[in-house]
Structure 1
């Protein structure tokens, strides 16, 4: 099973949608397997990180609950897509579960914190728009060091997100 999961991940990274779909057909329950080595890691995390929208859609169609799975850093697929600036993937993930906008990682950072740190203004705007929390709550959410979204944007010299 580990080999099949590795092949599935490779198909995502290589953007081979046909091989990916074939693996899903060969082993229909493969998306239920989320542990890789000693880390929790899902195909949805891989697709979200690499910005492969078609793979994200395919995975969400077959296993929508993966949107809530956290990896070893406690990052959801939405954390990864937000940090990478993959707007369409952020939209797909938030559509599946808007509560993930406020999911906190091991440093108490939300996907908004990561988008702000990386200067991903469009992603940040989308997260604010789609979140079920109030903008006031989102702006005042602090990580373990007491940093808000604004603090992290300034600290990382990503001032465009402050506009």
Structure 2
């Protein structure tokens, strides 16, 4: 990922993001095909830059379902870095948006992605629910996660 894009995501600078897009309209498209990549969404979630996260999800909803090279989603990173508000925002707006995007795009695996999104495990086998419980996150985070998980 471009060094300036990392800077934009780390600082939450949406103006810089759009400056980079203006200079290179394909800057985000080059990240998207990489199967395991640390996206600007991952960086912003780690830093807790909520508005930047929401802008990134609006521009590239596929980033919300990407795992980085270590097997972490943006949600995992937000939880690990004590970014409770970022976690709640991802749960309330990005995952329904991603599910809606999958359905609207008539993606053949839309239902499976919607059901499995929160069940993904990191390299240690922990889902975001496990991480929230292990790290003793506020009960509201655990409740929201439980409410979004598919019933088995």
Please give the TM-score of this superposition, normalised by the length of structure 1: 0.69
Alignment match, 2:117: 100
Quote the Cα distance in structure 1 between the aligned partners of 2:15 and 2:145: 31
Runs (5+) with no aligned partner, structure 1: 138-163
Match for 2:141 among 115, 123, 128?
123
Instruction: Indicate conservation of the 8 Å contact 2:11/2:49, yes or no.
Output: no
Quote the Cα distance in structure 2 between the aligned partners of 1:79 and 1:91: 15
Quote the Cα distance in structure 1 between the aligned partners of 2:44 and 2:12: 9
Instruction: Indicate conservation of the 8 Å contact 2:12/2:51, yes or no.
Output: no
Runs (5+) with no aligned partner, structure 2: 100-113
Quote the Cα distance in structure 2 between the aligned partners of 1:71 and 1:46: 10
Instruction: Return the index of the structure with the highest Cα Rg.
Output: 1
Match for 1:19 among 12, 16, 19?
16
Q: Aligned-pair distance for 1:57?
A: 1.4
Quote the Cα distance in structure 2 between the aligned partners of 1:45 and 1:66: 8
Quote the Cα distance in structure 1 between the aligned partners of 2:92 and 2:6: 22
Match for 1:28 among 25, 28, 32?
25
Q: Aligned-pair distance for 1:52?
A: 1.2
Bigger relative CO (Cα 8 Å, ≥ 6 apart): 2
Matches within 5 A, 1:11-90: 11-34=8-31, 40-83=37-80, 84=82, 85=84, 86=86, 87-90=88-91
Quote the Cα distance in structure 2 between the aligned partners of 1:77 and 1:15: 15
Instruction: Indicate conservation of the 8 Å contact 1:81/1:90, yes or no.
Output: no
RMSD over equivalenced CA pairs, Å: 2.1
- Report how many aligned residue pairs link the two structures: 128
Deviates more, 1:84-93 or 1:19-28: 84-93
Instruction: Indicate conservation of the 8 Å contact 1:47/1:53, yes or no.
Output: yes
After the TM superposition, which parts of structure 1 deviate over 6 Å for at least 4 consecutive aligned residues?
Answer: none
Q: Aligned-pair distance for 1:49?
A: 1.2
